[in-house]
Structure 1
Amino acid sequence: MADRKTSSDSTLNKSSDIVVLDQNESRSDIERASGSTALIPVDPYQIRDGILTEEEIEGLRRRKKGKAVAKYQSRQNNLILALLKPMEEHTEDAKAEEEASRLPVKIAIYASLVANFALCILQMYAAISSGSLSLLATGIDSVFDIGSNVLLFWLHRKAVSLDSNKWPVGGARLETIGNIVYGFLMGSVNLIVIVESARTLISKEGDALAPFHLPSIIAVAAALAVKGLLFLYSYSLRKKSSQVQVLWQDHRNDLWINGFGILMSCGGSKLRWYLDPVGAIIIALGVIISWGRTVYQEFELLAGKSAPHEFLQLVIYKAATFTDEIEKVDTVRAYHSGPDYFVEVDIVMDANTPLWKAHDVSQQLQDKIEVLPNVDRAFVHVDHEWTHVPEHRKPKSTT
């Protein structure tokens, strides 16, 4: 039997994510052997030796400039434990976490919907009765909060009920598309606020202050308090649901929007008249920049941004230790298709492997990967050699 070695041509980088690992040692199916949580998972590459104890990490932290090293080693510990954990446990943990967060997520969504509807009425009253451009900017944002809630709720329901014959990739991308459309709408309306505020600055004559309207300030202050509570509640749930993630960003933005709107409206009534339209311009620009970043991030998901490096390492390790029938892992790619990942794995098996066995191994590996958290689809390709150019790559045109 050939000595186990790592090919000198092995590479791993985030753009191609290519790794070549020899698997010539005789060993049982690692994944099945480590399926029981009562047993210590098999560790063929002895990566468990890289785990440091809490005492050792604390010793690193006490060194001069050792906090960064300790933080890095803590991440390495978490990565090694994740690699050694059987895929079934990853799936079960994700299901348990989803089940535990289902009710809190639903409360966050419906509480935001009800609160935003009430606050929309309250803030539009404040904007109209006071005539303040800064409060108008906060009122327009509150109107779009309602639109955000309704759009996200409808898209989520639509994504779940899509006909798989007409939409074979599923509806996960609908929420991403909805966020992009909503972001462009927010930007367009706030451009109108900027234009109106600029027109007021240019055409204003005299230094007369705007009248101070206390009920409007109280109304917006009440909205600020409610948004603060919603922000705190959704903070811990923001990574549990894409809907809550957008709502959390919305509540976060509303905190500074409403707070700054109150300050600039009061300043326009008590200090200088131009503070109110300037405040409206700043608020509108802040909303455009914030949603511009969100739209950019959502475009990255639609364009196929690579999955995090830690996830790629997990898939590579699980494929490499899946069974001794797999001689090498040639290529691993994982990329976004909406909020979830598409995973491509190229494995190498002996050229004399029967077709039925090659099919069964690749199908079992594909099934294992597809039940991992955040994986939408997985594709496993079997080859008999690894010297070729990676599969599924269209040659670039020279013209």
Structure 2
Amino acid sequence: MADSSGLPTAGQSADPISTSAPSNNPSTPDTIHEPIQAADITPASNFAAAPTPTDEKKPHITLSTTDRSNTSSNPEDPYSLARYKREALDKRSLKADHPKGKQRPIKKFYNRQNELIESYLQSADEEAMEVEDQAENGPKVKFAQRGSFVVNVCLFIIQLYAAVSTKSLSLFATAADAFMDVVSSTIMLITTRMAARPNIVKYPVGRRRMEIMGIILFCAVMTLLAVELIIESARTLASGPKETEKLQIIPLVFVGVAIGSKSIMFVYCFALRRYPGARIFMIDHRNDIVVNIFGLIMSIVGQRLVYWVDPAGAICIATLILYSWVSTAFEHVPMLVGESAPTDFINKCVYLAVTHDDRITKVDTVRAYHAGQHYYVEMDIIMDEETPLKVSHDVSQELQRKLEGFSDVERAFVHVDYEGNHSVMEEHKPPYEIQAPKQPLFNRLKFWKTGRDTPQIENAPPTGILVQA
């Protein structure tokens, strides 16, 4: 049994919602009409393809909200989704209901379905829950950030003393890592403070994206450190063995104190990892624990047994740092570019629009994309052309306010139309233009050598796109 059905990824026009049993062919999502049969609702997946040029003239999502014959009188759950949540997920119950199915994917399907229904029903309370959460955990996140900064400053001094005393390259690597922690922590504190203090005149939509910029700068600084350590360690390996001082107990104790302090801060930040500011420090503390333990071992082995173990250990440490921060940067860069929101989030936005007001006849298009840590949502709804302007304005504005009440939404824009048969591209400047397909590389080189122009394919279907500047 598959565990998902198709909905559009954000930034795309919405395809019809599938609320039937999981399909065996995910490339062709099922289509139904209102009213939604909540008993068969399935979680959505990410396999929905982007609309092709030939599909642009098709009206997309067509959820009629006019037929409410099968809805309940409960305004918070008009489709009675709560009664379709499956509570019995033990092996015996699943085996009785699905004797020929595999229990693990079936259980995964029902768990995800329950989560999806729960997210629908709690969507109206998200804003209040976010305010309560910020009041409860906001001071904890600030303490995690400031406490991490103070710990990084103290540990840099300790580790620098240990590295100078032992003249170990591995300990110098850990000291350099600690110094860059201080620099990057300063960047994070500054950018977080700027994000929390918006300038409405200069930045009309706030400076929340400044926090993501701080994380990316954090990653860039740590990446430069890792590259420098690799270069210096390679030089040491190439220069051959050198005489070094014997290890002393005090520097080793200092390194142990650093490991213990980082471990405490890691546990604290791990509990707050769902907040970006605390999560980035959690990753930093995790890396520092591994780096310090490994650096200490390599330093001892390098000075007591084989000289090349010390610089080789420094290279390993630097490689670990490089991989960790580059991967973290690649996770956050798409948020600035405008990556699509998950399909489950699109589902929740559509459900909110469908249940918002009976005068909304259809939901035409839904887009959601990152604008920093949170999303921008664009929604096109259809109302009767005879609807007074005052009514359509009030309905759409209230829907927009509800969308912005989601904890993951930064801004929402709701557009009202009276028909949904036009192309989405007619309302805005197209983000791309269709290009004719290129000749294979071999043919292009062949005609270039003979001095003739590459022949054009007549009546060739457009297959490529070119993003406009």
Q: TM-score range by the shorter chain?
A: 0.7 to 0.9
Match of 1:238 in 2: 273
* CA pair 373-57 structure 1, distance change in 2 beyond 3 A: farther
Match of 1:296 in 2: 330
Instruction: Output the CA distance in 1 between the equivalents of 2:138 and 2:49.
Output: 35
Match of 1:218 in 2: 253
Deviations 1:190-212 (A, max 9, x none): 21111111011011147x67632
Instruction: Output the CA distance in 2 between the equivalents of 1:84 and 1:293.
Output: 35
* CA pair 57-73 structure 1, distance change in 2 beyond 3 A: farther
* CA pair 366-14 structure 1, distance change in 2 beyond 3 A: farther
Shift of 1:55: 5.3
* CA pair 205-116 structure 1, distance change in 2 beyond 3 A: closer
| Coordinate RMSD, CA, aligned | 2.8
Instruction: Output the CA distance in 1 between the equivalents of 2:286 and 2:194.
Output: 27
Match of 1:80 in 2: 117
Deviations 1:77-134 (A, max 9, x none): 12102212351x1211222222211232222122212211111100111112211111
Larger % of helix: which?
1
Shift of 1:26: 5.2
* CA pair 308-58 structure 1, distance change in 2 beyond 3 A: farther
* CA pair 161-86 structure 1, distance change in 2 beyond 3 A: closer
Instruction: State yes or no: 1:348 paired with 2:382.
Output: yes
The code of the aligned residue for 1:231 comes to F
Aligned residue pair count? 382
Match of 1:396 in 2: 432
Q: Which is bigger in relative contact order (C-alpha 8 A, separation at least 6)?
A: 1
DSSP-derived class of the 2:432 partner: coil
1:285-324 equivalences in 2 (<5 Å): 285-324=319-358
Instruction: State yes or no: 1:187 paired with 2:223.
Output: yes
8 Å Cα contact 2:177/2:225 also seen in 1: no
Stretches of structure 2 lacking an aligned partner (at least 5 in a row): 1-31, 36-43, 52-59, 436-469
1:248-263 equivalences in 2 (<5 Å): 248-263=282-297
8 Å Cα contact 1:305/1:335 also seen in 2: yes
DSSP-derived class of the 2:200 partner: coil
Instruction: Output the CA distance in 1 between the equivalents of 2:95 and 2:315.
Output: 46
User: Larger deviation: 146-155 or 66-75?
Assistant: 66-75
Instruction: State yes or no: 1:284 paired with 2:321.
Output: no
8 Å Cα contact 1:61/1:69 also seen in 2: no
Instruction: State yes or no: 1:362 paired with 2:384.
Output: no
Match of 2:10 in 1: none
Instruction: State yes or no: 1:92 paired with 2:128.
Output: yes
Instruction: State yes or no: 1:271 paired with 2:305.
Output: yes
Instruction: Output the CA distance in 1 between the equivalents of 2:221 and 2:154.
Output: 22
Instruction: State yes or no: 1:69 paired with 2:97.
Output: no
* CA pair 205-115 structure 1, distance change in 2 beyond 3 A: closer
Instruction: State yes or no: 1:21 paired with 2:63.
Output: yes
Instruction: Output the CA distance in 2 between the equivalents of 1:221 and 1:86.
Output: 47
Stretches of structure 1 lacking an aligned partner (at least 5 in a row): 35-40
DSSP-derived class of the 1:328 partner: strand
Instruction: Output the CA distance in 2 between the equivalents of 1:169 and 1:102.
Output: 21
8 Å Cα contact 1:57/1:74 also seen in 2: no
Shift of 1:65: 4.7
Identity, % of aligned positions: 35
* CA pair 61-122 structure 1, distance change in 2 beyond 3 A: farther
Instruction: Output the CA distance in 2 between the equivalents of 1:129 and 1:143.
Output: 17
* CA pair 51-26 structure 1, distance change in 2 beyond 3 A: closer
Instruction: Output the CA distance in 1 between the equivalents of 2:83 and 2:227.
Output: 57
